[in-house]
């Protein structure tokens, strides 16, 4: 945990407001698209997501407010490079689609997903979220934008000793789990634009860190795999 002069009271208000602004419209969109509040898969997904987001935000507010402040910078406006602004736009549109498509699938009965697949999706969602949380615990520099802080150092402990981008690994696992936990095969279509966008961002981030973060090239030599152990 870093020493910080962050105004934690102000940060708490900002975090709560951000949580409300992002989650409430998402939930309304999810159930409005489903056309029913009886969409039990939607409730399971929402509870898991609320627990993760709320629990992680509370943990960071108490233990690492500097990281929480970095995580509040979200969206294309905060990115400096045009390519990264495009990636952020894709991610935002994908986040909307990942709610709308499975909910419409439920509403019109496009998919027939077995219960065990829905449970598997929920498990993947939890695993993905947990990997992201573990990453936050060891890396106080995990900003939502590609940048290097003045006091930043290379992190090689925890999951960073296995892959160089564990946040993206967790995000991809959760991304696969989301439509399955929502009972939709069609929701997996979101992987088509989302995966290339994440890989694009990952490669851009590596180029930036190699150029601007001392010791990162040595870290790349030590930890060979970017995203998937033993594969890539």
CA distance 161 to 6: 29
Residue 2, domain member (yes or no): no
How distant is the alpha carbon of residue 111 from its chain centre? 26
Angstrom distance (rounded) from CA 84 to CA 138: 25
pLDDT value for 180: 97
Q: Is the pLDDT confidence value at 127 over 70? A: yes
Within a domain: 228: no
> Using 50, 70 and 90 to split pLDDT, how confident is the model at 34?
very high
**Pure H helices in the chain:** 8-34, 40-63, 65-71, 82-108, 115-138, 166-181, 191-212, 216-222
Q: Output the pTM of the full model.
A: 0.86
Give one DSSP letter per residue of 44-90, joined into a string. Answer: HHHHHHHHHHHHHHHHHHHH-HHHHHHHT--SGGG--SHHHHHHHHH
Q: Would residue 229 count as lying in a domain? A: no
Residue 41 in domain = yes
Over 50: is that where the pLDDT of 2 sits? no
What is the length of the chain? 232
- The reported pLDDT for the residue numbered 6 is 60
Distance CA(72)–CA(81), nearest Å, equals 19
Given pLDDT bands bounded at 50, 70 and 90, which one contains residue 155? very high
- Lowest-confidence segment of 33-42, 158-167, 193-202 by average pLDDT: 193-202
Does any domain span residue 1? no
What average pLDDT does the structure give for the chain?
87
In a domain, 232, yes or no: no
Structure-block tokens of residue 11: 């940060």
Q: Note whether 77 and 154 are within 8 A (CB).
A: no
pLDDT score, position 70: 78
Domain count, the chain: 1
Cα separation of 96 and 76, whole Å? 15
Q: Is 221 within 8 Å of 151 (Cβ atoms)? A: no
The per-residue pLDDT for 42 is 95
Give pLDDT tens digits for 211-232: 999 999 999 999 999 999 888 8
Domain assignment present for 227: no
For residue range 73-113, list pLDDT tens digits in order. 655 445 555 666 777 777 778 778 888 999 999 999 999 99
Tell me how far the alpha carbon of residue 24 is from its chain's centroid. Answer: 18
Segments forming the whole domain that contains residue 188: 8-222
Task: For residues 13 and 95, give the distance between their C-alpha atoms in angstroms, rounded to a whole number.
Answer: 24
Does some domain include residue 150?
Answer: yes
């Amino acid at each position: 945990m870093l020493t910080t002069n962050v105004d934690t009271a102000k940060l708490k208000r900002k975090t709560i407001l951000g949580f409300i602004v992002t989650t409430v419209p998402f939930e309304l969109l999810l159930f409005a698209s489903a056309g029913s509040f009886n969409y039990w898969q939607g409730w399971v997904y929402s509870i898991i997501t609320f627990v993760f987001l709320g629990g992680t935000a509370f943990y960071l507010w108490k233990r690492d407010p500097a990281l929480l402040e970095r995580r509040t910078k979200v969206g294309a406006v905060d990115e400096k490079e045009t390519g990264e602004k495009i990636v952020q736009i894709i991610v935002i549109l994908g986040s909307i689609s990942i709610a709308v498509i499975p909910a419409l699938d439920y509403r019109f009965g496009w998919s027939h997903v077995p219960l065990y697949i829905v449970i598997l999706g929920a498990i993947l969602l939890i695993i993905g979220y947990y990997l992201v949380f573990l990453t936050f615990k060891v890396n106080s520099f995990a900003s939502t934008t590609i940048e290097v802080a003045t006091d930043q150092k290379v992190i090689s402990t925890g999951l960073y000793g296995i892959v160089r981008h564990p946040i993206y690994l967790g995000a991809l696992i959760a991304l696969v789990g989301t439509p399955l936990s929502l009972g939709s095969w069609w929701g997996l279509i979101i992987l088509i634009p989302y995966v290339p966008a994440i890989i694009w961002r990952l490669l851009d981030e590596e180029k930036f860190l190699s150029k601007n973060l001392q010791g990162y090239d040595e870290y790349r030599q030590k930890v060979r795999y970017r995203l998937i152990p033993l594969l890539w």
